Each structure stands twice: as structure tokens, then as C-alpha cells.
Structure 1
């Protein structure tokens, strides 16, 4: 039997995969939300926690989860609403709104001393923030080996946005603007840009422009006290059952810095509404948050072959993937998983979202274990295989 283009019998393989993750003690619970041909399917296993009150609560699409880097597409969508209303222009410099990033210097050697710099070839533009090519970002390096990596780590922390950006702007860029893709930091800078452009906090702007019109009440930078019982416990990567962030931890109170790079919480149900709006060209239930051309621009690969050759977290990182605005774009299919043209992004805590236009498919997974979102892990090969083998039309 098939419904919504899925074989109901074959979907049991996906549920079995989720059950195995729970039975092995990898996570206490997991949720998969699939939408296809206008129908939504949910597969869920386990509970919100291994111990305590959460151990008695089943995981479901209403469970509140830390998104980690799955926050990034929402940031880009919010920025695009400002492009659409004329507040921002993609190719304008950010200097007026972000003077901390004006007249930047660039390291002469990315691994060299911080005081050996050259002037930036050009200003940083809004487009550079959305494509993660502003010239700075995550620098994977062991402590004490690369000076800029150590300096960027010291910038971090739950600081007020102005202080955070001031510290970032006091450092040289790692590369020239537009030269290569660098991860993470651009999303946080975009959040500050949105706040200054709107005169609101980033969270207020995101709520007003994206979450409220799409009816996403559980998406934000903290969880209200009345709903903390719905927040799944976050577990550490290194060992099973070790709590990294409990429900009364970091997300139980508003942060000083609303991180576009990874600071949001949401639910499978909430994020499905954003994903469906993107799939429908920026509209859902009569509420348009983005134009169809804006969605197309967000979900187009903007990286050149030259940028891809020197970017990423290792050789071949961009062999089958490109980057749009705040999300990845699949450029070719490499296995029984997302088709070419699929777009979305995973998160640190084990969340992941992709829209696959070729298959009319939206897929969202919610786990809550540190570093579990890395799509190179075998568990994701198995989960994506279980999703795609169930397609039955």
C-alpha cells in the first residue's frame, strides 16, 4: 500500500532505524517528519531523556529541540525579507550598518602572525554574508597552532552583539572577501546586520518576519518556563547518556547573543512549516514571507569552481555540494539519498532538514546528541537510505 508517494510497508524500515538508535543508547529518542505530495508522515521512537521526567515523555513532532546550525537557513530567509522590502541590497557594502567590518585588513598568510596583514581588496557586501564568503569564519586547527584560529575562538561567548562584533572586527580577515567559503561566523554577523537594519533585536525581527506569519510558535532563542518540559535533553558526543545541556540549562533563559549560527530551538512541526513554505516558493496557507524569485536565489549554488576547490572541511568537501544563501545545495546525487537540486542543512545536535524538489519531498530529523548532525556519519547513510527506498511512485 502507498500513500503520499510512500510505501507504508517500506516506511517501517525507517522506524526500525530510529528504534535501533534508541535501543543502542545513542539517543533517548528521535523523530522523522516527512512530507510528500501534500501528506505528512511521522516516525518517532523513544523519549525526551534517558532519566528524569523526560524519560516518561515520548518524542514527537512537538518536542522542542536545539537546532544548532539548522538555524542558518532561517537567518538567511529573514535577511532576504529585508532585501525584498528595500532595506538591504545584496551587493551593497555592510560598512554603514556594520562599521566594525569597514576598512578591514587581511592576513598575508592565513596561518601566520596576526600583525602581518594587507588591505582588503574590497568591502564586505551583504551577499558575502549570505554565501559565507566574507573572509572569516571557522578555522579548524589545534589550539596553539594557528594564531587566527585561537583569536577567533576567544571572540566567542555569550556577549552582547555590539561587543561580539567589535571583537570580531578588531581581527584581520583570514582571506580576501569573496575568495572562499568559510563556515559559521557569517550567520552570526547576518543576525547583527538584521538587528541594526530593523532597529529590533534579531529575535524580534525573525519572529515578526518569519515565525509569526508561518505560525511557528515554538521557534526562538530560548524556551519559556511553561514549555521547558517539552525540551529534549541534549547529550554529549563522547559517551552515551552523558548530559551536555539539560532542559533547565542554556536554553532556559534568553541569551545575551542571539546566534544566527546555531542558537535557535524549534520543533519538527514548526520547522516543517518553514520547509513547506520554501518548497511552495515562499508561501504557506495564504501567508507569503518570500517571493518565489527570492527562494530560487536562496536555493541556487553561488560558489564558483575556484571557491569550491579551496574551501570546505577537507578535500572534496564540495564535490557534490554547493552553497546558496545560508544552506547547502546538492549538485549531484551520490547515493540513495537527496537528489541533485536538494537544499537544506543539518545541525550540531543531530537535527537535519532537506527539501528535495525532484521528489516533492521534505525530510526533517530531530535527535539531540552533540555532533550527531554530521552527515558523513554512517547513521545518516542508513537513515537517508531508509527514507528514499520507501518512495513508491
Structure 2
């Protein structure tokens, strides 16, 4: 079975049963590339999903914005050891909770300043602790103060300066550098990149990443003239006869947000994400030979720097995940990328020359990927024809 048929026969049975209603995918093994799409925008909408359909990529946003930060490391604008208070004075003179689950006013001084490296490594001291109760005292307080603390909702947060002032008004949960905490650091990174570069984040991202790579369908909201390519997004199926919409086609991503969220705010396509992945797989160089990021920074960014995470099989680099052991689904140690809980995955295995991308229009029901994602990766990483045990629900 060829690569295209192998991947299609894996994903399409899940879509046929409506879990998810639609998906697009791309798998590249060296120069062998399989691209496909199946399903529709959802119940009551017969619009077919195509490879150029737009998807809300949620946390796959993180590596894309991280690359913009890497370019600032390359040109000397940022330095991993530099205190971020130079650009983010709201994070100067931090107080740290004595007990991360205790009262917010029981604090001690931070032992040191938060650095650029802390932000990229998600060790600045604030964020989602997967080992503790959600959302915890600090994130609960940020939610009370008006910052979005749940699934992606781009229109809910205030403009970056107000957002940053609010984050600066709460203590850290942990000392800088002490613990990996998810997500909030990526949001902070977006503000840091914009202020360090001296332009709004969408402009910096376009200039340094999107435009050089020809990613014409990627942005914080749907670009002019592309609205018909984004359909509704759906909550996980509960096995019942109907699906519940999470976001309509003309919803949260239909217009630019006040706060361009570097943690989960982008829409994109499989083709755009493949252009991004090809650049990384090629050592930081685009198809036309433009160097986007240096080999030195790329190597530093994609090595294990934090962890172990995920039961000792994963780590975190500078803004993206890194596998440290071969996964049950076949992804090898050294692979890097990330997943998005709205239904997206992008990983690169540089040793095998493998790129895998799957975008779906249905949210996961838990932090663990839904079944189609596990089956997709087993198929993408396997060499032979599809195994019936993993090619369908």
C-alpha cells in the first residue's frame, strides 16, 4: 500500500463515523508526500474539507511563535540569559507563593529575575501545573481578573499591555527556573517578542516567519477573502446523535483579536504547516534558500532542556516539545513539535526525514489526543501497509 492510501485508510474511517466530522492531513517521508482531506465542516453543512481548509490549530501556535523568538536570538535582540524585565517591566521584582496551592498573599521574594530562557522553557514560575488541581490559585485569580484561563477564545483577552499588567499583578507559583508550567509562558513570549522587536506580534510573525515561508493562510484570525475556508469547530462527541458547536464559522477567529495569543491563537492549513516544517527539517532554510533561523539556534531550541515530562518520554526545548524516547505510536527520540487540544498535531523527525500533520475540526475530550491521532501517528511512522488494528476505529 502506498503512503497516500495508507494514511487515508487510517484516518477516513474515523471521519466516516463523525469523530471528527472533518480532517486534513499531510505525511512526508523525505520526498514522498501524502496529502489528503475527508469529511465536512460538520452536521448540516455539506461543505467538504479540503487540504486548503483552515483550522484552529490551538497550541501548535506555540512552535510557530517560538521560531520568531529564535530569530531574535539569532540577531542578538534577545539573549537566553537576559532578564525579561528589560522588555517586560511588569515581571520585575517578583513575589513567589510560599505554597503553590496556598493563599496568594503568603509570598517570599523571587530568588532571581525571570530570564528569556525561562519564558521559552516555560519555567518562568506561572502556568498550568499538570500535576496539580486545575486551575490553581494563580490561574484562578487571573481568570477572576478577566484573563482567559480555559480553552482557546481569542476575543476574550484584553490588549497586550493590559494583559501583561494583569499578569504582573499576581505572584508566581514557583521560583523562576524551578518548574515547568504549561501555556502561560507561551502567552508571555508573544508579548516579549513584540516588545523586543518593536512591532505588534502579527507583524513580527509575518516578517520573520510567515512571509519568508509563503504561509499565506496563517494568522491570528481569518485573512481577508479566506472566510469560506474556515468552518465551525465542534466539542467532543459524547456518542449521541448530535454534535455541539464550540465555535461557529463566524466566531472567535473570524476577526483579529485584541490580544494575539502566542499560546493558541493561530489558524492555518496543512500546506502552510508543511512549509514551516520543511524549513525546520532543512536546518532552518526555506525552499528558496532563505535562512530563517541559524543551525546553532535551531540545535539549541530542539534539544531536551526541561524534564523529564510525560512519564519520562518527553522534554521541552525553546518553545516546543521534544521526544526523548520512542513513543508507543512510533515517534522516535529526537522528534520535535507539538499538539493542540482543539485537534491538531505537528511533529518532525529529522533523523527519519519524517513530517506528520493532522488537523481536525473537533476538540479533544482530554489532554490526551483522541483515537484518530494515535492511529494517524502509528500509520505515519510505520514502513509497511496499514495494520487493521490501527487503521480505523
Q: Distance in 2 between matches of 1:318 and 1:131?
A: 18
**Conserved? CA contact 2:36–2:51, under 8 Å:** no
2:280 aligned counterpart, secondary structure: helix
The alignment yields a C-alpha RMSD, in angstroms, of: 1.9
**Conserved? CA contact 2:26–2:33, under 8 Å:** yes
CA displacement 1:169-189 (0-9 Å, x = unmatched): 110000000001000001110
Q: Distance in 1 between matches of 2:139 and 2:367?
A: 21
**Conserved? CA contact 1:346–1:373, under 8 Å:** no
**Conserved? CA contact 1:354–1:362, under 8 Å:** yes
Matches within 5 A, 1:94-113: 94-113=84-103
The yes-or-no answer on 1:296 pairing with 2:286 is no
The yes-or-no answer on 1:45 pairing with 2:38 is yes
1:34 aligned counterpart, secondary structure: strand
User: 1:263 matched to which residue of 2?
Assistant: 265
Deviation, 1:372, is 5.9
Matches within 5 A, 1:73-112: 73-112=63-102
2:76 aligned counterpart, secondary structure: coil
Q: Distance in 2 between matches of 1:267 and 1:378?
A: 21
**Conserved? CA contact 2:62–2:264, under 8 Å:** yes
1:148 aligns with one of 138, 147, 156 = 138
CA displacement 1:291-313 (0-9 Å, x = unmatched): 1111111110001xxx53xxx6x
1:35 aligns with one of 5, 25, 28 = 28
Q: Distance in 2 between matches of 1:245 and 1:184?
A: 21
Residues 377/227 of structure 1: CA separation in 2 closer, same or farther (3 Å cut): closer
User: 1:246 matched to which residue of 2?
Assistant: 248
**Conserved? CA contact 1:133–1:177, under 8 Å:** yes
CA displacement 1:2-24 (0-9 Å, x = unmatched): xxxxx50x653431232222222
Unpaired runs of 5+ residues, structure 1, are: 1-6
Deviation, 1:91, is 0.6
**Conserved? CA contact 2:187–2:261, under 8 Å:** yes
The count of aligned residue pairs is 371
Matches within 5 A, 1:1-393: 7-8=1-2, 11-52=4-45, 55-56=46-47, 58-139=48-129, 146-154=136-144, 155-156=147-148, 157-237=156-236, 239=238, 241-285=243-287, 286-303=289-306, 307-308=307-308, 317-371=310-364, 374-390=367-383
Unpaired runs of 5+ residues, structure 2, are: 149-155, 386-393
Farther off after superposition, 86-95 or 42-51: 42-51
Deviation, 1:238, is 5.3
Q: Distance in 1 between matches of 2:326 and 2:336?
A: 12
**Conserved? CA contact 1:11–1:387, under 8 Å:** no
Q: Distance in 2 between matches of 1:391 and 1:208?
A: 41
Farther off after superposition, 15-24 or 119-128: 15-24
Residues 146/44 of structure 1: CA separation in 2 closer, same or farther (3 Å cut): closer
**Whose helix fraction is larger, Structure 1's or Structure 2's?**
1
Deviation, 1:37, is 1.7
Q: Distance in 2 between matches of 1:35 and 1:13?
A: 12
**Conserved? CA contact 1:302–1:324, under 8 Å:** yes
**Conserved? CA contact 1:346–1:374, under 8 Å:** no
Deviation, 1:358, is 2.5
**Conserved? CA contact 1:236–1:369, under 8 Å:** yes
Residues 99/238 of structure 1: CA separation in 2 closer, same or farther (3 Å cut): farther
Deviation, 1:364, is 0.3
After TM superposition, the score normalised by the length of structure 2 is 0.90
Deviation, 1:209, is 0.4
**Conserved? CA contact 1:349–1:372, under 8 Å:** no
CA displacement 1:51-76 (0-9 Å, x = unmatched): 23xx23x3222111101000000111
After TM superposition, the score normalised by the length of structure 1 is 0.90
CA displacement 1:308-333 (0-9 Å, x = unmatched): 3xxx6xxxx24100111111111011
Q: Distance in 2 between matches of 1:193 and 1:357?
A: 29
Q: Distance in 2 between matches of 1:340 and 1:100?
A: 38
Q: Distance in 1 between matches of 2:348 and 2:294?
A: 17
Residues 43/16 of structure 1: CA separation in 2 closer, same or farther (3 Å cut): same
